[in-house]
C-alpha cells in the first residue's frame, strides 16, 4: 500500500520512539527518527518529512528551539510540527505556540489521537502543496499570456500610426463639413485606441519593474492646462469636452503652488485618463472640476479623509478630478483600479469600463511614491484624488 506520509519522530528516549513508530506504521505512515535536535534539523533537510512529532525535553537542544529554527526557514516554515510533551503548564503551551508549533500531544499518548492529528496535518500540508503547484502553473500561464499580448499590442502600433497619419493628412485637404466630421471622429477614435495600446504596454512594463521614470521639475498649473487641452480644448473662451454631449471642464489650481518633480508624460496621461473618464460620465450641461493644492499637516477637510485612511501623505501635492455622474458603489471603489476591472454604474445597462486606464494611473502614481483613490457616493458623483510627494 502507498505510504500515507513520511513522519519524523524526534525523541532522545528510544522507548518513546518505538511507541510512536509502531502507532504510525499501523496507520500506514512511513517513519524516520532522530535522537536529538541537531540530528532532527539535518533529517528535515535530507528526508523532506510530511510532519514532525517533536519531543520538548532533549539534552542538546530542546524542542522549542528546534521548532523555532524549522519555522524561521522559508523552505520549511509550513512543515507541520506537533509538540509531544509531558509538560502540562499553560506557560509551556504558550512557549510552544510562540515557537510556531501547529499542535500538541500530551504524554502518555493515545493511539487514535496520534493518528487523527497526524492525518489531519499531513492532509493540510498536501492541500497547500497542491495550491502552490496550481498557483505556479497559473503564474506561468499568465506570463505566457502577457508575453503574447505584449507582442500583439506592440505590432498594433505601426499600422495605427499609419492610419492616424493618413487621417491627419486628410484633415489638411479640402473637405466638406460631413467628410471633415467623419474624418475627425475616426482620428479621435484612432488616438483613443493608440492610447489604450500604450497603456497596455506601460502597465506591463511597470508591473515587471521595467519602467524608468524621467523626472524633471514641472509646473502644476501647466500640467493641468496641458491635460485639459487634450480632453477639453478651449472653444469661445470655455473648455468643452468632446464626448457627444455638452460638458465643460473647469480648472482650479492655486497660482502659488510650487513645482513638482515628476515624469511629465506619465502624470499628464494620468490626468488625461481621469478627466476623460469624468467627462464621459458627467451629465449634459455639467462641469468637471479639476484642481490641485498642498496637503498640510493640520488639514482636516473632508476630501482628505480618504487620504488619511490610505496612509496619509502630509506635505504632498493633492490633485483632484470631480464629476457629478452616477457614482461608484463602496464595494467597487477598489476594483476599478485593478487590471481590466469593470463595474456597473447606477445607469441601467451601463458599465464603468476602466480597462487598463485606471490600472495605469495607479501604477504610475505609485511609481512616483504617491497614492490614488476615489471618494464616491452612488447618485452623487465621484472625486478621484492622487498625491505626489514634494
Which of 32-36, 143-147, 153-157 ranks highest by mean pLDDT? 32-36
Structure-model confidence comparison of residues 292 and 347, the more confident one: 292
- Cell, residue 192: 483613443
Angstrom distance (rounded) from CA 2 to CA 301 = 67
Which has the closest alpha carbon to 323: 352, 298, 286? Answer: 286
State whether residue 89 is helix, strand or coil: coil
61-65, 76-80, 112-116, 138-142: segment of lowest average pLDDT: 138-142
Decide if 262 contacts 301 (C-beta within 8 A): no
Q: Which residues contact 319 (CB under 8 A, 6 or more apart)?
A: 220, 224, 271, 291, 292, 385, 386, 387, 388
Residue 196: the pLDDT is 75
CA distance 37 to 26: 26
Q: What was the pLDDT predicted at 258?
A: 86
Rounded distance between C-alpha atoms, residue 268 and residue 254, angstroms? 18
Average pLDDT over residues 281-307: 73
Q: Which residues pair with 31 in a beta bridge?
A: 7
Per the CB < 8 A criterion, the answer to whether 199 and 233 are in contact is no
Residues 288, 247: contact at Cβ < 8 Å?
Answer: yes
- Whole-number Å distance between alpha carbons of 338 and 182: 34
- pLDDT band of residue 32 (cuts 50, 70, 90) is very high
Residue carrying C-alpha cell 445607469: 347
In the predicted structure, residue 352 carries a pLDDT above the cut 70: no
92 contacts 85 by C-beta, under 8 angstroms: yes
341 DSSP β-pair partners: 355
pLDDT score for 348:
38
pLDDT at 360: 84
Q: What local confidence, expressed as pLDDT, does residue 2 receive?
A: 59
Kindly tell me if the per-residue pLDDT of 341 is higher than 50.
yes
Residue 173, classed as helix, strand or coil, is: coil
Is residue 232 over pLDDT 90? Answer: no
Q: What tens digit of pLDDT does each residue of 41-90 get? A: 999 999 999 999 999 888 889 899 999 999 999 999 999 999 888 776 67
Strands 238-242 and 234-235, sheet pairing: antiparallel
- Which is it for the CA torsion 219, 225, 227, 229, positive or negative? negative
Q: What is the pLDDT of residue 54?
A: 92
pLDDT confidence of residue 92: 75
Q: Do 292 and 253 form a contact (C-beta atoms < 8 A)?
A: yes
Average pLDDT over residues 187-198: 80
Task: Render pLDDT for 165-187 as a digit per residue (tens, 0 to 9).
Answer: 888 888 888 888 888 888 888 88
What pTM was computed for the model? 0.55
pLDDT of residue 346: 44
Q: What percent of the chain has pLDDT over 70?
A: 84
Task: Report, as an integer, the average pLDDT of 30-41.
Answer: 92
CB neighbour list of residue 73: distance below 8 Å, 6 or more residues apart:
none
- Is 71:99 a contact under the CB 8 Å cutoff? yes
Lowest mean pLDDT among 70-79, 93-102, 214-223: 93-102
Kindly tell me if the per-residue pLDDT of 344 is higher than 70.
no
Predicted local distance difference test score (pLDDT) of residue 340: 60
- What is the distance between the alpha carbons of residues 140 and 375, in angstroms, rounded to a whole number? 36
Residue 106 pLDDT:
83
Average per-residue pLDDT in the chain?
82
pLDDT of 257 over the 50 cut = yes
Amino acid at each position: 500500500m502507498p505510504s500515507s506520509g513520511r513522519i519524523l519522530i524526534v525523541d532522545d528516549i528510544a522507548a518513546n520512539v518505538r511507541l510512536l513508530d509502531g502507532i504510525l506504521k499501523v496507520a500506514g505512515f512511513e517513519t524516520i527518527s532522530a535522537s536529538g535536535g541537531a540530528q532532527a534539523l539535518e533529517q528535515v533537510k535530507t528526508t523532506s518529512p510530511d510532519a514532525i512529532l517533536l519531543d520538548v525535553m532533549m539534552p542538546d537542544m530542546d524542542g522549542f528551539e528546534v521548532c523555532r529554527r524549522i519555522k524561521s526557514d522559508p523552505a520549511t516554515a509550513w512543515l507541520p510540527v506537533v509538540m509531544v510533551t509531558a509538560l502540562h503548564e499553560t506557560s509551556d503551551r504558550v512557549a510552544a505556540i510562540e515557537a510556531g508549533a501547529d499542535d500538541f500531544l500530551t504524554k502518555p499518548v493515545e493511539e487514535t489521537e496520534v493518528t487523527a492529528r497526524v492525518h489531519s496535518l499531513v492532509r493540510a500540508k498536501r492541500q497547500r502543496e497542491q495550491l502552490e503547484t496550481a498557483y505556479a502553473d497559473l503564474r506561468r500561464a499568465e506570463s505566457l499570456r502577457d508575453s503574447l499580448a505584449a507582442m500583439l499590442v506592440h505590432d498594433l502600433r505601426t499600422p495605427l500610426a499609419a492610419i492616424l497619419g493618413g487621417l491627419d493628412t486628410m484633415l489638411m485637404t479640402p473637405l466638406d463639413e460631413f467628410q471633415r466630421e467623419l474624418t475627425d471622429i475616426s482620428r479621435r477614435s484612432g488616438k483613443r485606441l493608440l492610447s489604450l495600446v500604450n497603456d497596455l504596454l506601460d502597465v506591463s512594463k511597470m508591473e515587471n519593474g521595467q519602467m524608468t521614470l524621467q523626472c524633471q521639475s514641472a509646473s502644476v498649473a501647466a500640467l493641468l492646462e496641458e491635460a485639459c487641452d487634450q480632453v477639453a480644448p478651449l472653444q469661445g473662451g470655455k473648455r468643452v469636452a468632446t464626448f457627444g454631449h455638452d460638458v465643460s471642464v473647469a480648472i482650479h489650481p492655486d497660482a502659488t503652488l510650487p513645482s513638482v518633480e515628476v515624469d511629465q508624460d506619465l502624470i499628464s496621461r494620468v490626468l488625461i485618463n481621469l478627466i476623460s473618464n469624468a467627462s464621459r460620465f458627467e451629465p449634459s450641461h455639467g462641469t468637471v472640476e479639476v484642481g490641485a493644492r498642498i496637503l498640510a499637516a493640520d488639514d482636516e477637510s473632508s476630501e482628505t479623509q480618504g487620504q488619511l485612511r490610505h496612509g496619509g501623505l502630509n506635505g504632498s501635492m493633492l490633485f483632484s478630478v470631480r464629476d457629478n455622474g452616477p457614482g461608484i458603489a463602496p464595494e467597487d471603489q477598489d476594483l476599478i483600479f485593478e487590471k481590466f476591472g469593470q463595474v456597473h454604474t447606477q445607469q441601467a445597462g451601463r458599465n464603468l469600463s476602466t480597462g487598463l486606464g485606471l490600472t495605469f494611473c495607479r501604477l504610475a502614481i505609485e511609481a512616483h511614491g504617491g497614492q490614488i483613490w476615489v471618494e464616491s457616493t452612488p447618485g452623487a458623483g465621484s472625486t478621484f484624488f492622487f498625491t505626489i510627494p514634494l
